[in-house]
Structure 1
């Protein structure tokens, strides 16, 4: 699972964005954009002879199959789903840089990733989309917006960083309540270790992308207090006490022996196996981790064994990190008919077709008038319930995202220190910000 751009890829994307911004004709064309009101066709209007293309990643290419088939039946359109090989984000940006655009694409709806795609030049605005008022109020404006304009729309519940735990392990150790803050979480880990149970699990191979969640959940209170705004404005750095302190705390917990002994060689799949089997009691992860669990156990077993709670320094606050499988964008292609047809497909997807889509995906509904299917595991429903009180992650709020997880994995392997992790992250962040033309860098 690779959601985040490498430094070189992000700089290339930022350079593309700056080039397009300097060219008044870049990304123009079609009927969308500007100050004109966008027309939204009727959901099932005839589209015979129209072909639309959706770009999807390897982990999202089956998501649209059922809803697009229904759209084809209703409208006569043809919808082609094209899988862009991993690394997905880099692949899309390379194609867009050459003028190759789909009609729709799965895309991470965050500030940094909409910036990387140069949304104003390349994407249709969705500000007056007819389905927006159907969302639960807390979800309507939570993501997908860049500089006051909406360019992406959620189709599934955004990912949240929090703690997945084994209920049976808790029961075996007489734990009847989940921790209420970070300190209680750590103290519970120490208690479990003293009783012979591995408290926490993490992995570092092949890239250790999950390591950064342990740092970011510690930053939830600071994020709510404007941490990433300050980092974006060069008023605070990764090397300052807040972020560096979270990195140091993470390493100290590993050094204390609270994690799996094989953390240097463990994999993402090992993590799922360990939690499901009760070899570890807890792990900090995001929604895609639960997908691994679902591949290994049915809903009944998951409801019996796996729970979720958000965590932050002062309480139970989640850290939201929407990914590309959660949202769609519509491109400015220069073909007014296809642009309108793309908007029509979105209207159908989030309108008449939404109930069937939710049922097909067995996922949490974003719309109060559409019930969540009975088969959705309780832990996923608890993740979704935490969104209303969540704060944004680095990926959601920072103007650029350094390879923090790579630097943390190196730290765990013993090749760098927390101070070096912070310095590497800050240097890369500044480089990425400069490439985007962010003031102060």
Structure 2
């Protein structure tokens, strides 16, 4: 592990720990006049004189810009957009830890990431949001909860782990059907290699994509309560269920099924390799499609790229919502600001949703709002898999350890699968203990 990366991980864990140990000085703790429950005013009611702060990353988001402008025109409210420096989550956690909260923020709506914000003290409950019954039932309750309380608004279709593949290469190598389970998946990869092709592209240089390989193998185990057992320390990352998936990943690398530049490859390289047919497949999340869209058009993507979910025993998709999918509203202690923040969410997901989804060029999660014509077919396939998907480690575990960093170290040859599992378990236990989770 590089020293700088380790320092970032420690800083983020420390920021979260400050919140859990009660060092936050603002918001939360019953200071809200609404006692934590959002007030749902008419989405276009006048908010002249109100300025809402919205925390996000440094990357431009045309959909967010559009809906903010529309809300300003409809209500008179203004926005102060705060671009937190990367790593975004660490920067926002550090601010929240000292009580410096925005009114709203883009946030990964998973159990592990919501937990770091200590939501019962710092976030508004969105349980009675007016738009919930209008959402696609397949995605409505996929994410955004801690226990039975909804703390995040899902605004776009959640990201999903799956296999992107080049259609022409599948045809060239005689693969006429998408694999129906892990064994068929690897058999297809071996067939491609035997015929002189490159089966998989991994972006080891960017590190974070490495974690998808073990996680897709754990889909059925997750359905069977794996992460609940990990959360109570009944099972660990060092247990065979998880360790075996790490070992399998390493064995596939050793078998030569990946790109030669696996240690330095990037997501940009990965997207180009699959799109142009240099490599047959990549296990990735929606970020890969976004990268393809940044360098190509929908017609080209539709013609060249397919997608399918994969799991150990079948085609169970693993969902992993990211911070582009979810938004949280903070308990700042100012009832007027809290009500205005909730009103913006209400506007976003009702009056303004059709225009927002068009500007974002994203799959709609409301059946009464059609997805834009420019959305790639792959995006719709991914979204349709959510109805039978299972939550990821990030979605179901109480903490999100640096599994990806340890796996990247394994690709570099500095850690064994056993060391990856051990390091990940130790960090998970530390994070769980800081949260006061029983069993740690």
TM-score normalised according to structure 1 size: 0.95
> 1:301 maps to what in 2?
300
* TM-aligned CA deviation for residue 14 of structure 1: 3.5
The alpha-carbon distance between structure 1 residues 144 and 21, as it changes in their structure 2 partners (threshold 3 A), is farther
- Measured in 2, the distance between the counterparts of 1:26 and 1:101 equals 10
| Residue 122 in structure 1 maps to residue 116 in structure 2 | no
- Measured in 2, the distance between the counterparts of 1:24 and 1:86 equals 23
Question: What are the equivalent positions in structure 2 for 1:219-238 lying under 5 Å apart?
Answer: 219-238=218-237
In the alignment, structure 2 segments of 5+ residues that lack a partner are 1-5
Question: What are the equivalent positions in structure 2 for 1:270-419 lying under 5 Å apart?
Answer: 270-419=269-418
Question: What are the equivalent positions in structure 2 for 1:167-316 lying under 5 Å apart?
Answer: 167-205=167-205, 207-316=206-315
- Measured in 2, the distance between the counterparts of 1:25 and 1:370 equals 36
- Measured in 2, the distance between the counterparts of 1:179 and 1:112 equals 31
Deviates more, 1:93-102 or 1:19-28: 19-28
Contact 2:38 / 2:124 at 8 angstroms: preserved in 1?
no
Contact 2:212 / 2:284 at 8 angstroms: preserved in 1?
yes
1:15-44 C-alpha deviation (Å, 9 max, x unpaired): 22323399998444233335xx64311011
Aligned Cα root-mean-square deviation (Å): 1.8
Question: What are the equivalent positions in structure 2 for 1:92-111 lying under 5 Å apart?
Answer: 92-111=92-111
Question: What are the equivalent positions in structure 2 for 1:138-177 lying under 5 Å apart?
Answer: 138-177=138-177
Contact 2:50 / 2:78 at 8 angstroms: preserved in 1?
yes
- Measured in 2, the distance between the counterparts of 1:166 and 1:38 equals 46
Contact 1:28 / 1:122 at 8 angstroms: preserved in 2?
no
> 1:13 maps to what in 2?
15
User: Equivalent residue of 1:324, what SS?
Assistant: coil
Contact 1:231 / 1:237 at 8 angstroms: preserved in 2?
yes
Contact 1:7 / 1:432 at 8 angstroms: preserved in 2?
no
- Measured in 2, the distance between the counterparts of 1:65 and 1:126 equals 23
Deviates more, 1:162-171 or 1:58-67: 58-67
* TM-aligned CA deviation for residue 335 of structure 1: 1.2
Deviates more, 1:269-278 or 1:299-308: 269-278
Contact 2:28 / 2:333 at 8 angstroms: preserved in 1?
no
* TM-aligned CA deviation for residue 211 of structure 1: 0.6
* TM-aligned CA deviation for residue 178 of structure 1: 0.6
User: Equivalent residue of 2:54, what SS?
Assistant: strand
Contact 2:156 / 2:362 at 8 angstroms: preserved in 1?
yes
* TM-aligned CA deviation for residue 112 of structure 1: 1.1
Deviant stretches of 4+, over 6 Å: 21-25
User: Equivalent residue of 2:112, what SS?
Assistant: helix
- Measured in 2, the distance between the counterparts of 1:196 and 1:436 equals 50
1:335-389 C-alpha deviation (Å, 9 max, x unpaired): 1111111111100000010000011111100000001111100001100001111
- Measured in 2, the distance between the counterparts of 1:14 and 1:95 equals 10
The alpha-carbon distance between structure 1 residues 86 and 262, as it changes in their structure 2 partners (threshold 3 A), is same
- Measured in 1, the distance between the counterparts of 2:416 and 2:296 equals 38
- Measured in 2, the distance between the counterparts of 1:38 and 1:331 equals 10
The alpha-carbon distance between structure 1 residues 60 and 25, as it changes in their structure 2 partners (threshold 3 A), is closer
Contact 1:200 / 1:282 at 8 angstroms: preserved in 2?
yes
* TM-aligned CA deviation for residue 233 of structure 1: 0.6
> 2:3 maps to what in 1?
none
Contact 2:329 / 2:341 at 8 angstroms: preserved in 1?
yes
The alpha-carbon distance between structure 1 residues 62 and 338, as it changes in their structure 2 partners (threshold 3 A), is same
User: Equivalent residue of 2:125, what SS?
Assistant: coil
- Measured in 2, the distance between the counterparts of 1:406 and 1:300 equals 35
Question: What are the equivalent positions in structure 2 for 1:16-165 lying under 5 Å apart?
Answer: 16-20=18-22, 26-33=28-35, 38-59=38-59, 61-165=61-165
Contact 1:160 / 1:319 at 8 angstroms: preserved in 2?
yes
Count of matched residue pairs: 435
User: Equivalent residue of 1:325, what SS?
Assistant: coil
- Measured in 2, the distance between the counterparts of 1:144 and 1:83 equals 22
1:41-98 C-alpha deviation (Å, 9 max, x unpaired): 1011011111111111123644310011011111111122221111100100111112
